[in-house]
């Protein structure tokens, strides 16, 4: 039968020769290999001090975006919650009162916006569903927690820092993305 790949190797069932029976020669060869690995560059990344860069399309924790004047973009339309296959997003809408124009961009805003990070599968469908570019997935992931309620992220956890009040933090959160 013809081999499918050139990697196929016939099994050798010859009885062991005397040198092979003494194991010494082969053990010596193995030990040279392991000694070689002793001096090789290590694959370990010391995690908290050193981090592997994520791919630019990595889908991590959600961020609620603001516009360039620092107003929340979300209008609580509910399309993200509808799109979410894991039903991780809930929200409550509220009407913008006079004098809050510097806080919310449209007349309607999300008074409560919660994502359950234990339910979330980080598929990114909310990001695609959002008509206002208000929610997107960042390049970080959820830190560990001792309690389930610690994984329910509210608005204060999700909102991006304001570009007006805190431009440095805003730039850090926006990362390589195009600010919109």
Binding to another protein (CB under 8 A) within 36-55 occurs at 37-38, 40-44, 46
Contact assessment for residue 77 and residue 172, using Cβ atoms and an 8 Å cutoff: no
Residue 159 is classified by DSSP as: B
Residue 8 CB, shortest distance to another protein, in Å, is 24
The SS3 call for residue 155 is: helix
Quick one: which H or E segment has residue 149? none
Binding site annotation covers 72? no
SS3 of residue 140 by DSSP: coil
Q: How far is the CB of 144 from another protein (least distance, A)?
A: 17
Return d(Cα 72, Cα 112) in angstroms, integer. 13
Using CB under 8 A as the binding rule, whether residue 13 contacts another protein is answered as: no
- DSSP tag of 110: E
CB 42 → another protein: shortest distance, Å?
5
Contact between residue 69 and residue 101 where contact means Cβ atoms under 8 Å apart: no
Site string for another protein, 102-141 (x = CB under 8 A): ----------------------------------------
Per-position x/- string for 14-33, each x denoting binding to another protein as judged by CB under 8 A, each - no binding: -------xxxx--x--xx-x
Q: Known binding site for [4Fe-4S] cluster: residues?
A: 74, 77, 80, 84, 120, 123, 126, 130
């Amino acid at each position: 039968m013809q081999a499918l790949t050139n990697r196929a190797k016939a099994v050798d069932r010859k009885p062991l020769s005397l040198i092979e029976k003494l194991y010494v020669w082969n053990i010596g060869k193995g030990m040279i290999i392991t000694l070689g690995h002793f001096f090789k560059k290590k694959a370990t990344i010391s995690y908290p001090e050193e981090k592997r860069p994520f791919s630019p399309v990595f889908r991590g924790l959600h961020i609620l975006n603001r516009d360039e004047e620092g107003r929340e973009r979300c209008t609580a339309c509910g399309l993200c919650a509808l799109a979410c296959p894991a039903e991780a997003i809930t929200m409550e809408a509220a009407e913008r009162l006079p004098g809050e124009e510097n806080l919310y961009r449209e007349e309607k805003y999300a008074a409560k916006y919660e994502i359950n990070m234990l339910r979330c599968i980080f598929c990114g469908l909310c990001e695609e569903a959002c008509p206002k570019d208000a929610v997107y997935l960042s390049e970080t992931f959820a830190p560990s927690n001792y309690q389930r309620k610690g994984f329910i992220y509210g608005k204060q956890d999700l909102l991006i820092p304001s570009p007006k009040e805190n431009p440095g933090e805003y730039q850090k959160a926006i990362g390589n993305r195009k600010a919109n």
